[in-house]
């Protein structure tokens, strides 16, 4: 997969979540959450992100579980410029899947459901920087 998140430092163990048996998910993919506690690939900007796939899930392999990182230090790709300390929000389009951008200046996006980490470095569009993943921590 292109633009996958790369784990730099693990801060907690991955948590197992339910996923569709027929779905393939690459390691390092941003995952969104839906009821009932089921994850899938993030496919829209502003999805409610639960974490990053800690392992590959092969499509139609008989399993319906995938380990998910909900915290840790990662390398991630940017859509647009960001300054160290800014909260992260996912960005998605056909070309730039798994990218993140700053949640500023839209204050309505600054919630634990829409922001899920913090930039640890300043970076430019399409650059890979270190980020802190902290799901549910309102960005920090």
- Domain end call among 28, 48, 70: 70
Q: Do 63 and 76 reside in the same domain of the chain? A: no
In three-state secondary structure terms, 104 is coil
**pLDDT bracket for residue 2 (50, 70, 90):** confident
Task: Select from 64, 68, 58 the least CA-distant residue to 7.
Answer: 68
- Expressed as residue numbers, the domain containing 85 is 72-134
Q: Do 65 and 98 reside in the same domain of the chain? A: no
Q: Do 42 and 77 reside in the same domain of the chain? A: no
- Cα→Cα distances 82→14, 86, 129, Å: 27, 7, 10
Of 98-102, 115-119, 135-139, where does the model show the most confidence?
115-119
Domain count, the chain: 2
For tokens 């899930």, the residue is 57
Strand order in the sheet with 117-119: 6-9, 71-77, 128-134, 117-119
Q: Are 9 and 74 in contact (CB under 8 A)?
A: no
pTM above threshold 0.85: yes
In-domain check, residue 32 = yes
- The structure tokens listed for 87 are 């909260």
- Domain end call among 70, 96, 122: 70
Q: How many CA atoms lie within 13 A of 138 on its CB side?
A: 4
Q: Do 122 and 66 reside in the same domain of the chain? A: no
Q: Do 15 and 33 reside in the same domain of the chain? A: yes
CATH code assigned at 118: 2.40.300.10
Q: Do 65 and 11 reside in the same domain of the chain? A: yes
Residue 4 has pLDDT above 50, yes or no: yes
pLDDT digits (tens, 9 = 90+) for 44-98: 887 889 999 999 999 999 999 999 999 999 999 998 899 999 888 887 777 777 7
């Amino acid at each position: 997969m292109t633009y996958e998140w790369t784990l730099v430092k693990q801060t907690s163990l991955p948590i197992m979540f339910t996923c569709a048996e027929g779905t393939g998910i690459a390691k390092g993919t941003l995952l969104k959450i839906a009821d009932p506690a089921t994850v899938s690939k993030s496919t829209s900007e502003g999805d409610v992100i639960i974490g990053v796939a800690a392992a590959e899930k092969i499509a139609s392999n008989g399993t319906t579980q995938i380990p998910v990182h909900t915290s840790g230090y990662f390398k991630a790709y940017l859509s647009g410029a960001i300054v160290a300390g800014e909260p992260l929000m996912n960005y998605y389009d056909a070309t730039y899947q798994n990218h993140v951008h700053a949640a500023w200046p839209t204050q309505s996006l600054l919630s634990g459901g829409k922001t899920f980490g913090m930039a640890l470095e300043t970076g430019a569009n399409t650059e890979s920087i270190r980020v802190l993943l902290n799901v549910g921590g309102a960005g920090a």
